[in-house]
Chains A and B, each alone.
Chain A
Amino acid sequence: MNKERRKRKTSRIVIFVILIVLAALFISPILIVLINSFKGKFFISETPFELPNAETFVEFENYTGGIGKTGFLHAAGWSFFITVCSVAVIIIFTSMTAWFITRVKNRFNNMLYYLFAFSMIVPFQMVMFTMTKVANMLHLDNPVGIIFIYLGFGAGLSVFMFSGFVKSIPMELEEAAMIDGCNTLTTFFRVVMPVLKPIAVTVGILNTMWIWNDYLLPYLLIGSEYRTIPIAIQYLKGGYGSIDMGAMMAMLVLAIIPIVVFYLACQKYIIEGVVAGAIKG
């Protein structure tokens, strides 16, 4: 028995060491970018794995230069504005829609449900060109109009997930509220919405991750006038393939910081949300 236990203990230590090494490997790409963001732009491509020294260290030059070149602060503002507004709009409207089409059963609502579900498997390229044209015609090609487009595009997954959740909650609660004199709207916001909270968190996180990182849709729709963070970074590449590596490193670091902060702040919800989203989606 003693031997057995010792054996198990050594195997645990081995696993622990393997995990430490792997974790270091996983983090290192980000650390390498961080290190290089403090080096002069000509010292990056060739020796990315060396720490900055007296010759190569440039303090925050890459940051100030990069921010100026890309308009990063504006881009961060637009990214933030578009993500927060779109996610809020998506949560409110798709939860209402999902509840309605699940509770009021008729052929039309049933068809809507399947249409929303169907839209999830359609790749963006299928509607990329036509959607951009339609949005241009309707003058939705601005930071407010794009929120509406995100509502339409995010509707598939979000309605699908809310519907799945609504099906699992009993109707008695809502019926009691209505008998007590609530109308449909107050019933929804006072009684149903609080019950939907866990799934709303999941839907919110999935949409936040998508919209914050989305490149192509905002690029095609508003990219000529407004940049979001991914657009600002891609913009550094320019037309001729030569990249200011210093500015690039600094902007990558600035792009990663908000994500890491968001992640560490609501890590539990994010991992749970993503797992729940994957299982239900």
Chain B
Amino acid sequence: MKRHTKRYFPIFVLPTLVAFTIAFIIPFVLGIVLSFTEFTTVIDAKWVGIKNYRAAFGNKEFLNALWFTVRFSIVSVATINVFAFLLALLLTKKIKGTNLFRTVFFMPNLIGGIVLGYIWQLIINGVLYHYEVTLTFSPTYGFWGLVILMNWQMIGYMMVIYIAGIQNIPKDVMEAAMIDGARPLQILKSVTIPLVMPSFTICLFLTMSNSFKLFDQNLALTAGAPSKKTTMMALDIYNTFYGSVGSEGIGQAKAVLFFIIVALVAFIQLRITRDKEVEN
């Protein structure tokens, strides 16, 4: 079978591989190379060593965006997962209408980031109007606006993953705990949470990487206002590339740093939570 099948490489693999090379491999390698050069059109690149990286680290907007992104990610990862897990607990108690509730809570997840941003801009501005300010009055409003938006979008998504995790807990383990006289809180702490650890790994990973890479929602809700104080990393990189001519090299260096940070955060987070998983 093998020798026969091998000949089909051009049909089976080549189309995907060519597309993957053009859309990902070449741009990725080129991106790393260009981060060490000065350029405006790719072809006119001049080698400048680590100058772009120095510029990126000395760039206030970049550092500000990094700090904003880190704070935002911590707050939204914590809130989303707490609410999603609590909802999942409620929805696995065999309450009437569970399916309908699940449908409703999950729905915002399907709406795109741009649309979400403008929906929440309307609502938050409507509330703030009573206090005679707008969303772009202070970066604090933008920050919490983004947190609320992210919660609305991702709680349902994480909730369905937690529900799947809770439903996977073997019934006999639960029954054994109840027969032993464990109280509900004890069961939660010593049975449920340890056994849904794999779900926590997935959910923390998804919320963390989505928070770090957030772009559309940021662009639509505040676009970084006021004075770029609510700009997150992805938006800052975009602004560096397309906001001014001549800083493409710095933009690319920022992009490489962004990639490294995202990869590191994902790696560290997976290491920590995987260690806490138990065999079941």
Contact = CB atoms under 8 A, between A and B. Distances in A.
A270 interface: yes
Contacts of B106: 271
A129 B160 contact: no
B220 interface: yes
B161 A279 contact: yes
B31 A260 contact: no
Chain A's interface size range is 35 or more
B195 interface: no
B262 A119 contact: no
A214 B113 CA distance: 8
A1 interface: no
A118 to B, nearest CB: 9
Given A26-B152, A94-B16, A121 B115 contact: no
Given A152-B23, A213-B112, A129 B161 contact: no
Given A16-B96, A233-B114, A100 B9 contact: yes
Interface in B12-67: 12-13, 15-28, 30-31, 34, 41-42
B219 interface: yes
Interface stretch (B73-81, B173-181, B253-261, B271-279): B253-261
A26 B27 contact: no
A30 B42 CA distance: 44
B131 interface: no
A212 interface: yes
Interface in A205-220: 209, 212-216
Main secondary structure of the interface of B (DSSP, over half): helix
Main secondary structure of the interface of A (DSSP, over half): helix
**Best-buried of B96, B129, B255 by chain A (most CB within 10 Å):** B255
7 contacts: A23-B100, A45-B122, A100-B9, A125-B233, A129-B251, A153-B23, A252-B118
Interface of A: 12, 15-16, 18-19, 22-23, 26-27, 29-30, 32-33, 36, 44-49, 93-94, 96-97, 99-101, 103-104, 109, 112, 115-116, 119, 121-131, 133-135, 138, 140, 148-153, 155-156, 159, 174-175, 178, 183-185, 188, 209, 212-216, 229-230, 233-234, 245, 248-249, 252, 255-256, 259-260, 262-263, 267, 270-271, 274-275, 278-279
Instruction: Identify the 9 closest CB pairs spanning chains A and B, nearest first.
Output: A152-B23, A213-B112, A152-B19, A48-B126, A127-B27, A130-B27, A131-B27, A100-B12, A97-B16
